[in-house]
Structures are given as C-alpha cells and as structure tokens.
Amino acid sequence: MPPRWSSARAAPDRRPVASVSMNAGWKHWHALALFSALLVAPSLIGCSPANADSPGTGIGRHWAARPAFPATAPGLSPVRQRIVAVLRAQYENPPESPAVYTQGVREPWCADFVSWTQRRAGSPVRNPGNGSWRIPGVATLTEYYQSVGRFHGPDYRPKPGDVVLYAPPNRFKQHTNTVIAVDGDNVTTLGGNEPPHGISINGYRLATVKGIVGYGSPR
C-alpha cells in the first residue's frame, strides 16, 4: 500500500526546473505523484537527476550493486563527522518513503534530504521564506548559504560534510547532495532523489566536473 502523503505543498519559488518521477517502488503512489508533478512543474524547484538513469528503484530496497559507504576521513571537525555519520545511517538503513524528509509533501526531494540530514547532524539550514528547517529548492538553498557567509565558489576544494550545489550542464542539472569523501581529485557524494537508488553514492573529479555552482559549508 502506498504511503499517505500530506496534500500541503511548499511555497513555490517560481523558477522552472525539470520535474522527475520519485522512486517508483509503489506503483499507485508513483502514478499519482507524477500526475501531480506535471500539474505544478512550472512552480517546483527541486532536483533533476540525470536523464539517462532509469526511475524504477524503491528507496527502501537494498540492491547488490550498491557500493559500500566509504571510510570516514580522520581529522574532520565534530559537526562534519556527525553529518557523515547521519548520511551513512540513511544510506545503510533507508526509510520506506521519502516523506520523512519532505514532511509529507510530494516534490523532488534532493534539497529536502540535505536539509534533513544537516539538521539531524546539528547544522540546520533555515528557510528564508518561512523560517523552517526545510529548504525544498536548490536555488533557495544556494541563496541561504550565500546569505550566511558559508557559500564557496566552484574552485573551492570541498571536504566531507559540505553541500554540493549543481546546475546545467552538470549531468544532474539542478540538484544538491553532500560530500562524504575526498581522495585527491576524486569527490564522493551521497544524495537523495538521486539515481540509481534513490539515496545514492555518486562522485566526480574536480579537474573535469562541469556545472558546480558552489558549495555550502556546515556551521
């Protein structure tokens, strides 16, 4: 049976972004969510996973091909250690529904996932529109980090616990996730509403990645 979702919606940002299907593990819920997304697509700002990735994986399922969560780097600050630990817990024991991250709102949820994990780790963001801990839009999340002086441009060298903010021409288009490991030029990330597994490990090389808007650092 599909999970029950609130009919409430986040205040629109009025900036267009591609709508995506969200974790089609529940057939009836997925059809309803996709229909809703098509109706309100012009007003949603959220996450746009890579077009080439298939949408058919449930968030609560464990897949044999899922990579192991990387070891935590030594020397991280306490808040960065907590962020990585929270992300590890969500990756290894995902909930059955992304509603836990969105407060029941049907919407692309990559920024919700970032908001939830940062708050859980003791480094909450604050929605400038309503004061909530949850910022559902990538553009608004970027503006938040800029407004509090914790935004870094694309040439910054990220650390585990930093939030990554993407835009086209990145393969994720408009999206956000969190750094969980850095090894030389290679950055490993974990994000929600992200292919191939809903909560997924991905990565990029600093020397070749395109479409990084910048990074948000924890408190």
Q: What is the pLDDT of residues 140-158, one digit of tens each?
A: 999 999 999 999 999 999 9
Q: Which residue has the higher pLDDT, 61 or 124?
A: 124
End-to-end CA distance of the chain: 40
In a domain, residue 4? The reply is no
In a domain, residue 203? The reply is yes
For residues 144 and 138, what is the distance between their CA atoms, to the nearest angstrom?
10
In a domain, residue 198? The reply is yes
State the CATH number of the domain containing residue 38: 3.90.1720
pLDDT in tens, 21-35: 333 333 333 333 333
Q: Domain range for residue 178?
A: 27-216
In a domain, residue 3? The reply is no
Looking at residue 58, what is its pLDDT?
A: 42
For residues 165 and 63, what is the distance between their CA atoms, to the nearest angstrom?
27
In sequence order, what are the beta bridge partners of 177? 164
* Alpha-carbon separation of residue 214 from 45, 151, 177, 184 (angstroms): 17, 7, 11, 19
- 162 pLDDT above the threshold of 90: yes
Q: Is the separation of the CB atoms in 170 and 18 below 8 Å?
A: no
In a domain, residue 38? The reply is yes
* Strand positions, DSSP E, 117-209: 151-152, 163-166, 175-183, 186-194, 198-205
| pTM metric for this prediction | 0.76
- 17 pLDDT above the threshold of 60: no
In a domain, residue 22? The reply is no
pLDDT in tens, 39-49: 223 223 457 65
Total domains in the fold of the chain: 1
- Stretch 111-117: mean pLDDT: 98
Question: What is the DSSP code string of 84-120?
Answer: HHHHHHHHHS--S-THHHHTT--S--HHHHHHHHHHH
For residues 134 and 111, what is the distance between their CA atoms, to the nearest angstrom?
8
Looking at residue 47, what is its pLDDT?
A: 72
In a domain, residue 11? The reply is no
- 63 pLDDT above the threshold of 60: no
In a domain, residue 156? The reply is yes
Q: Is the separation of the CB atoms in 134 and 127 below 8 Å?
A: yes
Instruction: Name the pLDDT band for 198 (thresholds 50, 70, 90).
Output: very high
Question: What is the DSSP code string of 55-69?
Answer: ----TT---TTPPPP
Instruction: Name the pLDDT band for 208 (thresholds 50, 70, 90).
Output: very high
Instruction: Name the pLDDT band for 119 (thresholds 50, 70, 90).
Output: very high
